[in-house]
Chains A and B, each alone.
Chain A
Amino acid sequence: MSIKIAVIQFPGANCDLDAVHVLNSVINVEVNLIWHNHFKASHYDGVILPGGFTFGDYLRAGIIAAHSPALDEARKMLKDGKPIIGICNGFQILAEAEFLPGALLKNESLKFVCKWIKIKVENNKTAFTTKMNKGDILNIPVAHGEGRFFTDNLKELTENEQIVFRYSNENGDITSESNPNGSMENIAGVCNLEQNCLGLMPHPERASEAILSPYGTTHGKLFFESMVDFIKRRIS
């Protein structure tokens, strides 16, 4: 049983190679870096939309990429229940393409924020969080200018357990000091109703090896291990 994961490369993507490296060398699964116009859903068991500034983030972050044929293909995977993760700009793309609820606005500070923060696991039943426990605090970096999560439907997202991560302090308290961008209710990541699609602003692919973490942690790896586990259960 071989698993194949795609990392989609848009013009202006970044951390795409980091994601490929983690899947190849840390998680040890087959991964293809694939140009967005060439991506075919049927060839893959899961897909990663990496970070970056696709198409210069013109008009709004992620909106131009959201119209790429890659998203039509990814929509088939969404319907088939395959796992899809959008990291940073990938999250913005998935929100603009309406795979995920809400929108990402300019940071409240109006500044690009690039630092290690902490997020608290609110839902460990999604395709990317089964290797975590609810309430776990993860060390992970953020690097974005437009990450302020906004929804006009907070009640429904909460009731449906679509809020997967919140920015927190090291004790798990949801405070304004631990919120790097002014996101509503400190929301750092959300999933779709079926929980096979996740979007988050922090970068798990930059937090998967101890050598890269100021804390010596490998919390980012849990996302990809959960993903592979989900795929194995799905196709077995």
Chain B
Amino acid sequence: MASEYIVEIVLENKPAARDPVGETIKRDLLAKKGYDMVSNVRSGQYLRFYLEAESEQKAQAIVEDLLNKLRIFNPVTQNFKILSLTKN
């Protein structure tokens, strides 16, 4: 029987693509306020999908499929990572 799942993902620039948002947070905020122990900051884009699926594996497969097929992440510049997958 299908249940509702929540899949959280983050899109992040590939290491070779500079991330000025992360760089600015580090350079113009953290470093100036004494947090110089922070060596790097990378920003990303967070998405949460609510979906019906028969199992956790199927929920993950659906989300991976739509991410790839609809180019929700740009494969030239970004990677995606599934942060969590929970049954609602």
The SS class assigned to the B binding surface is loop
Quick check: which of A60-68, A135-143, A158-166, A189-197 contacts chain B, the rest being far away? Answer: A60-68
List residues of B (3-39) whose CB comes within 8 Å of A's CBs.
13-14, 16-18, 20-21, 24
Residue of A nearest to B13 (CB): A105
Distance, CA A4 to CA B14, complexed state (A): 42
Interface string of A216-232 (1 = CB under 8 A from B): 00000000000000000
The SS class assigned to the A binding surface is loop
Interface string of B67-88 (1 = CB under 8 A from A): 0001110101100000000000
Residue of B nearest to A106 (CB): B20
Task: Categorize the interface residue count of chain A.
Answer: 20 to 34
List residues of A (46-86) whose CB comes within 8 Å of B's CBs.
59-60, 63, 66-67
A151 contacts B76, CB within 8 Å?
A: yes
Task: Categorize the interface residue count of chain B.
Answer: 10 to 19
Interface centre among B20, B24, B71, B76 (most CB of A within 10 A): B76
Find chain B residues with CB under 8 A from A152 CB: 14, 16, 76
| Cross-interface CB contact of A105 among B17, B45, B71, cutoff 8 Å | B17
Find chain B residues with CB under 8 A from A103 CB: 74, 76-77
Find chain B residues with CB under 8 A from A96 CB: 71, 74
Find chain A residues with CB under 8 A from B18 CB: 105, 108, 182
Find chain A residues with CB under 8 A from B76 CB: 95, 101-103, 150-152
How many A-B pairs have beta carbons closer than 8 Å: the answer is 38
A110 contacts B24, CB within 8 Å?
A: yes
Find chain B residues with CB under 8 A from A110 CB: 20-21, 24
Distance, CA A202 to CA B20, complexed state (A): 22
Whether a CB of chain B sits under 8 angstroms from the CB of A133 is no
Find chain A residues with CB under 8 A from B17 CB: 105, 150
Min Cβ gap A129→B in Å is 24
Find chain A residues with CB under 8 A from B24 CB: 110
Distance, CA A107 to CA B24, complexed state (A): 12
Whether a CB of chain B sits under 8 angstroms from the CB of A176 is no
A66 contacts B71, CB within 8 Å?
A: yes
Find chain B residues with CB under 8 A from A105 CB: 13, 17-18, 77
Distance, CA A173 to CA B18, complexed state (A): 24
Find chain A residues with CB under 8 A from B72 CB: 59, 63
CB-defined A-B contacts under 8 Å, sample of 20 = A59-B45, A59-B72, A63-B71, A63-B72, A67-B70, A96-B74, A101-B76, A103-B74, A105-B18, A105-B77, A106-B21, A107-B20, A108-B20, A109-B20, A110-B24, A150-B17, A150-B77, A151-B76, A152-B14, A182-B20
